[in-house]
Amino acid sequence: MMPDNFDETKQYPLLLFLHGAAERSNDNKAQLLHGSKFFASKKNRRNFPAIVIFPQCPKESYWANVLIDRTSYPLNIDFPTNYAPTKPMKSVMMLMDDFASKPFVNKNQIYVAGMSMGGMGTFEILYRKPKMFAAAIAICGAGNPKTTVFYAKTTPLWVFHGAKDNVVNFQSSVEMVEGLKKYGGKPIFTLYPNQSHNSWDAAFTEPKLLPWLFSNIKK
């Protein structure tokens, strides 16, 4: 999605949004189920003109390298760090490199956000490309806390989770926040006491979310 009245002679922020596992497909539509209306609203497009990218992950893959035990819920998830990026993640990183090279992209205002599987992908792309992003949003995600050492001090994060999440345990976000703090980061953490896995619904109603995101500019 390009900004209204897009002008190639100007520079715009760039936002990458990574969807959850339920939206995996090859139809280039399902990934727009959550979040697209929020970013595409007339008010937000007017107040925060930006280039927004919603890539889609195929059903047989994931954004992040994850080992998932589905025999019980919440899921038991492990994040190995000695693997090459998944094919979808590699494609997204190449896409972001390509967009970052465009003269109409403000390289100091490149952001990433994601929910559930996309929250996991958000944490992963941050450690794989720690110098790219000015800020990030991770909703009901998870990751390997050890990898936060690569971006804790340089990339502000706002992390969201629901305390009643029965898919991805909220402790996963707690561990990532603790990792960020351990390595010098100052993340914002919002835990919704009565939200289950769909904590993105609450996150997208936060009035300070986009003002906070776009206020972060790489120095």
Which is nearest to 17 in space by CA: 34, 41, 29, 5?
Answer: 34
Residue 101 is predicted with a pLDDT of 97
Of 21, 57, 46, residue with least CA distance to 214: 46
Q: How far apart (Å, rounded) are the C-alpha atoms in residues 35 and 185?
A: 26
Are 116 and 167 contacting, i.e. CB atoms less than 8 angstroms apart?
Answer: yes
Give the single-character DSSP code of 200: H
Q: How many residues appear in the chain?
A: 219
Amino acid identity at 69: D
Q: What is the pLDDT of residue 76?
A: 83
Extract the tokens encoding 147: 């990898």
Task: Return all residues near 119 (Cβ < 8 A) that are at least 6 apart.
Answer: 18, 138, 139, 140, 141, 142, 168
List domains and CATH numbers for the chain. Answer: 12-215 (3.40.50.1820)
Each residue's pLDDT, cut to its tens digit, for the chain (219 residues) gives 999 999 999 999 999 999 999 999 999 999 999 999 999 999 999 999 999 999 999 999 999 998 888 777 887 888 988 899 999 999 999 999 999 999 999 999 999 999 999 999 999 999 999 999 999 999 999 999 999 999 999 999 999 999 999 999 999 999 999 999 999 999 999 999 999 999 999 999 999 999 999 999 998
The Cα 194–Cα 20 span in angstroms is: 21
The pTM of this model reads: 0.95
Q: Give the β-pairing of 76-78 and 105-115.
A: unpaired
